[in-house]
Amino acid sequence: MIPNIFKAYDIRGLVGSELTKQFAFSTGVAFAKFLELEREPATVVIGEDMRPSSPELADAFSAGVTSQGLDVIRIGLASTDMLYFAAGKLNLPGAMFTASHNPAEYNGIKLCLSGARPIGKESGLLTIEKFVREGVPVSLRPVGVENHKEMLQDYVDHLLTLVDVSGIRKLNIVVDAGNGMAGHTAPAVFSRMNVDVTEMYYELDGTFPNHEANPIDEANLADLKEMVKTLPENCETIDDYLLLANIYVSIQERLYFKLKQIKRTEYNWISPSILEQCNKCLEDTIGKECEIGGVSVEKMITHHSYEEQQKIIDRFLMPYLIENNLEGTEFRFTAIVDMITPKS
């Protein structure tokens, strides 16, 4: 009996009782058939996280794909965004074995089309589920070939093209990887930046011995908060930067939405051209007479000291927020990548 573990945007279930090697093989077969119908490239890129069950489930899925005559590229240990990067760079459909923030006893599969286009129930997952439940005809093609490819450095190279970090002053930061995939990707990124990192729980361990991999639960942030308290008093904490980013993004969004008179939900990213427009608006409104020179808020966040940032906030940003009735707003955090990179 096929378990009901097909969700809106992925597949997630208990390992052993719901998500088995046989299920993974059948899903690989079904995915290959779906890709054939969609006239997708005949190679699938597969990534996996550090959960104990991920390698064997990925092996079974790969065997299912290749049994239908499609080839496979295994990129090994990867974060979900790294798999999507690989699918985009190689322009191939992909599968990622992870259960995201779910407890250790779970695992799952995230699927995408070539170019990292997502697959959900409305874009193919229902068809794949139907093939798993009903089966598909045996392929008469020769069995496909499985190869391996290292993508971590390509992924890091790409991340470092999104924001120019060459002029950023040195930062001291604490990173709690939670025994998850950040322990694999974060060192590769931060080793090429001007930062001193205090590492917490970088050991890859899908049993999550220190705390669950769910940062939304405040209890899972307790160790990180305690570690931050040990930093020298003159060190900035991540909270300072989140505050600045929240204020920056919030003002940009409101300026943009006011100009375009569209709803917030219809446009949730800011392109480089909009970034430039918003910076100009900010400089015209609050930055031209700044004591330390008229600078963009982006430059303020990345290049000025904490004390200088506070001067700008106290003298210019806070009056602006109060004047425009924004000071009580619950700011939404948007990652720098989302803030400056268009989404196709």
**Catalytic residue list:** 100
Which residue, among 159, 253, 198, 206, has the nearest Cα to 48 in the 3D structure? 206
Are residues 340 and 269 in contact, defined by beta-carbon separation less than 8 angstroms? no
Residue 133 Ramachandran class (φ > 0 left, ψ -120 to 50 alpha, else beta): alpha
Q: Phi/psi of residue 336, each to 5°?
A: -55, -40
Please spell the DSSP secondary structure of 293-310, one letter per residue. ----HHHHHHHS-HHHHH
Please spell the DSSP secondary structure of 188-248, one letter per residue. HHHTTSSEEEEEES-S--TT-SSS-S-TTSGGGGHHHHHHHHTS-TTSPPHHHHHHHHHHH
Task: For the chain, give the number of residues.
Answer: 344
Structural Rg of the chain based on CA atoms:
23
